[in-house]
Structure 1
Amino acid sequence: MAALLRAAPASVRVLGVGSDHRAYALGEDRVVRLPRWPGGGEALRREARLLAWLTPRLPGVGLPEVLHLGAASPLAPEGFSVARRVPGGSALGQSLPDPAGLGGLLGRWLADLHTLNPRGSGLGVDLDPTGHDWRNAALEDLRVAADAGVLPEAAAWAGRVQAVPDLREVVPVPLHGDFAAEHVHLDGQGDFAGVLDWADAALGDPARDLAGLIHWGDPALLQAARNVYPASGAVWERAAWYALCRALGDLAFAVGEGQPAYLEAGRRALNGLRGWWTNAPPRS
């Protein structure tokens, strides 16, 4: 790792810190990612194999091209990856010049991903038919956010989290697994340019990826995506529940890591979810 940084053609700068990785720009066209948790090195290797499988099957939108996988070292105990940088910039917090146009592109792209034949992908199944793992994590995130004073109406949102939808008959499909604005890249005109961070990819509930569209908090984007993505109302209801869990995770992450962009994203998602459910929590 140290040798790589010494050989860098330009200064290294921080791109961002997520729940799983720290990302650094290496020159103008490469990104270094370092796992934050034990076991993250193996996840990077799985991700690299998956991206090599996905890229020819999802043409037209940029995916990271992994150029090098580094071994563990004192500076990088879980190893690291070096990838070619995806064009554009993160959509997190960006204003959207054409949200409906973007929503249509995202909906069609997710439909293409979810209908891929997973043979040869190496993806494992990630299904929790009880929903208890998501529920318990979301309730803990809710507690953190409420204790920090960033979540009014906590009791009402807790009731929504505890109303786990029926997940017993889910047919697993290839998922990104962490699909939301921070992992979508847009070009200078606000058009869909690429998708980052495939470490959570799996065979699972398509509603988990659709939750990212709800989480975005833009009604025009969501409606355009719904117009082109073939899914029943039950799938979208599951997606809304996952989006709520994700929004609470954003608030807790913002509190723990001092990341105001995630606080804004979580609040925007909750505002959108108020309009999703008929019996929305009252405004304080």
Structure 2
Amino acid sequence: MPPTPEQPTADTDTVRRLLESLLQDGGAIEVRPVTEGGEHSTWWVGAQHVLRLAPDGRISPGLRREVRVRDLVRPYVTVAVPACVAAGEWAPGLAYALDTRLAGESAEGRDVTAAGEEDLAGLLTGLRAVPVGRAVALGVPKAAPRSLENLRRAAGAAARKLDGDGEFDAERLRQLTGHAVVQLGPQADAVLVHHDLKGEHLTVSADGRVRGVLDWADAVVGDPAEDIAGLAIAVGARAAVRSATLAGYGPRVCLRGLWLARCDAVVRLADRLYGADGASPVGLLRVQLERAWEAILLELVSEG
């Protein structure tokens, strides 16, 4: 659908005009769109900055809130989060944020080492330490834990479709029994959750260290297993569970996160292949499915 007058489009000229008002020589700095991500219009600005523009009013509140959330999180976590250089509106009701660019490349292109897993453990530990009341006061919404039983049913239907096309062995979902679902109900107190820890939001250095975490716009106060699930899809089930264990989470929380990730990955691939989601690259969704379904030692529910 073409943009309407009430929904302006950010092009290179729009970005340059905005940068002229924000940075010295901003009009001459090289700008290019970021290809990863979807909800924001995101641009590389030279080598030092990233500009994100809300494409519609629905995205603007989260983008504005994110600046405050990152300032709250920064003292608690052991990895970098972007600092805001300037924020405002690039069009009526449409927010922007000009941030510092973090070192490293997307985790989609670099593997995380054992030292990187320790970095992720520091992230999870720090998020658990953030005072929930302060996050809520900033407008961070509360999110109830998802029903693993409902997700299992959705994944089962999706798995049968994928199985028919040779994309996934539906029998693998039988590992998640009804008894296991009960045991893997929400175990931990609500904490600040990034809620979108996919590979493109993790910056990784050449030596496999996790140097930073991007895009905090979807942060909620909720189930910490959601971030374990995100890491399983971003860096693999083994690394995610090891990182969560280092952060002090017990087996049941780790397994809950693992099964959230596995079911999500099955549902998302089916949605993409059968018409419900036309945006996500099929290749990436297949890779995420493989990551989430890595075999781990901790496959039996135990006391956590």
TM interval, short-chain normalised:
0.7 to 0.9
Q: Superposed, which structure 2 residues align to 1:168-179 within 5 Å? A: 170-179=188-197
Per-residue deviation, residues 194-220 of structure 1 (Å, max 9, x unmatched): 00011111111111111233332263x
| Equivalences for residues 76-95 of structure 1 within 5 A | 78-95=94-111
Is 1:265 paired with 2:265? no
Which residue identity does 2:114 align to in structure 1?
A
1:57 is matched with: 76
- Structure 2 CA distance, aligned partners of 1:181 and 1:114? 21
- SS of the aligned residue for 1:57 comes to coil
1:111 pairs with one of 125, 132, 149: 125
Give me the TM-score of the superposition, normalised by structure 2.
Answer: 0.73
User: Per-residue deviation at 1:262?
Assistant: 2.0
Instruction: Name which one, 1 or 2, has greater alpha-carbon Rg.
Output: 2
AA aligned to 1:272 is: E
CA distance 1:109–1:275, shift in 2 (3 Å): same
CA-atom RMSD, angstroms?
3.7
Q: What is the alpha-carbon distance in structure 2 between the residues aligned to residue 137 and residue 38 of structure 1? A: 34
> What secondary structure is seen at the aligned counterpart in 2 of 1:177?
coil
Equivalent of 2:261 in 243, 262, 270: 243
CA 1:136–1:44 in structure 2 vs 1: closer, same or farther (change >3 Å)?
farther
- Aligned residue in 2 for 1:182: 200
Per the alignment, in what secondary structure is the counterpart of residue 272 of structure 1?
coil
Q: Which residue pairs with 1:120 in the alignment?
A: 134
Question: What is the letter of the counterpart of residue 31 of structure 1?
Answer: V
When residues 212 and 130 of structure 1 are mapped into structure 2, their CA distance, relative to the original with a 3 A threshold, is: closer
Task: Give TM-score, length-normalised by structure 1.
Answer: 0.77
TM-fit CA distance, 1:246: 3.7
- Contact 1:8 / 1:27 at 8 angstroms: preserved in 2? no
Highest relative contact order (Cα 8 Å, sep 6+), 1 or 2? 1
In structure 2, how many angstroms separate the alpha carbons of the residues matched to 1:35 and 1:154? 39
> Does 1:208 find its partner at 2:226?
yes
Partner of 1:29: 48
Q: Which residue of 1 aligns with 2:23?
A: none
Shift of residue 50 of structure 1? 0.8
| CA deviation profile, 1:101-143 (whole Å, cap 9, x unmatched) | 22122113311221222332323311136457x7299659948
CA–CA separation in structure 2 for the residues paired with 1:126 and 1:89: 30
1:151 CA drift (Å): 3.1
- The answer to whether the 8 A contact 1:145-1:248 is kept is no
Structure 1 SS opposite 2:168: coil
Cα distance in structure 2, aligned partners of 1:179 and 1:173? 15
Q: Deviations over 1:55-103 (max 9, x none)?
A: 2333x521011222232528xx73322211111111113234xx22221
- Inter-CA distance 250–18: structure 2 relative to 1 (3 Å threshold): farther
Deviation at 1:245, TM superposition (A): 3.6
**Counterpart residue type for residue 232 of structure 2:** I
Partners of 1:149 and 1:8 lie apart in 2 by: 51
| Structure-2 separation of matches of 1:158 and 1:13 | 46
Look up the equivalent residue of 1:243 and give its one-letter code.
A
User: How far did residue 228 of structure 1 move?
Assistant: 1.5
Q: 1:217 aligns with which of 233, 236, 257?
A: 236
Give the letter for the 2:224 counterpart. Answer: P
What CA distance in whole angstroms lies between the structure 2 residues aligned with 1:141 and 1:37? 34
* Unpaired segments ≥5 residues, structure 2: 1-9, 21-25
**Aligned equivalents of 2:99 and 2:163: distance in 1?**
39
8 Å Cα contact 2:237-2:295 kept in structure 1: no
| Per-residue Cα deviation, 1:213-269 (whole angstroms, up to 9, x for no partner) | 3332263x3464255221222211211122114423653469722525623432322
In 1, are the aligned partners of 2:18 and 2:90 still within 8 Å (CA)?
no
- Write the distance in 2 (CA, Å) between the matches of 1:70 and 1:46: 12
Matched residue, 1:69: 87
Q: Is the 8 A contact 1:253 1:262 kept in 2?
A: no
